[in-house]
Amino acid sequence: MPDLVRTSKFLSLILRHKPERIGLTLDANGWADVDDLIRLANQHGFPLTLSLLERVVAENDKRRFTLSDDGRRIRANQGHSLKVDLQLSPSPPPHLLYHGTASRFLESIRAEGLRAGRRQHVHLSADIATARQVGQRHGKPVVLVVHAARMAAAGHRFYLSANGVWLTERVPVEFIEFP
């Protein structure tokens, strides 16, 4: 399993943030050619095979990556700091969504709401447990409740990524319920 985790972290870096680190080019929609990715990863000292790549896509618990229908291209489902168009259509969100964060960020969130920061979107979860897991990665976890239906009624757009993560550009503070 460590190879899968290590490979997933490598793919996250390359497909979401720094494809240039290995000389890879993503298209406008975030897709990379699988053969190029494998060749360039190996040239830069990261051992990658098609079977390992397919296992990471299939077995990653967060379903971070998608292979194209023909298996010739791969992309990250969300979380890009690069400007890519994931070609997601606006989708009506559930009444409530959740955002996991660390307690040390609460003061900033109370002042500014949730902002995408270095990413293209704010990531929201459909359930509290997932949001708590996300928050734990950054320190003492706190789960914020986002009144998504009210936000949508006020004109904010939501998108549902291929792996079930809800995305929006920002969440103004008036739509956030703090613990």
pLDDT tens digits for range 108-158: 999 999 998 777 889 999 999 999 988 888 789 999 999 999 999 999 999
When the candidates are 3.20.170.30, 2.60.120.920, 3.40.50.2300, 3.40.50.2000, the CATH number that belongs to 97-177 is: 3.20.170.30
Question: 144: Cβ–Cβ under 8 A, 6 or more apart, which residues?
Answer: 98, 99, 100, 101, 109, 114, 131, 176, 177, 178, 179
pLDDT at 77: 85
- Domain regions of the chain by residue span: 2-76, 97-177
**pLDDT < 50 stretches in the chain:** 1
CATH 1.10.10.970 given to domain 2-76? yes
3-state secondary structure of 143: strand
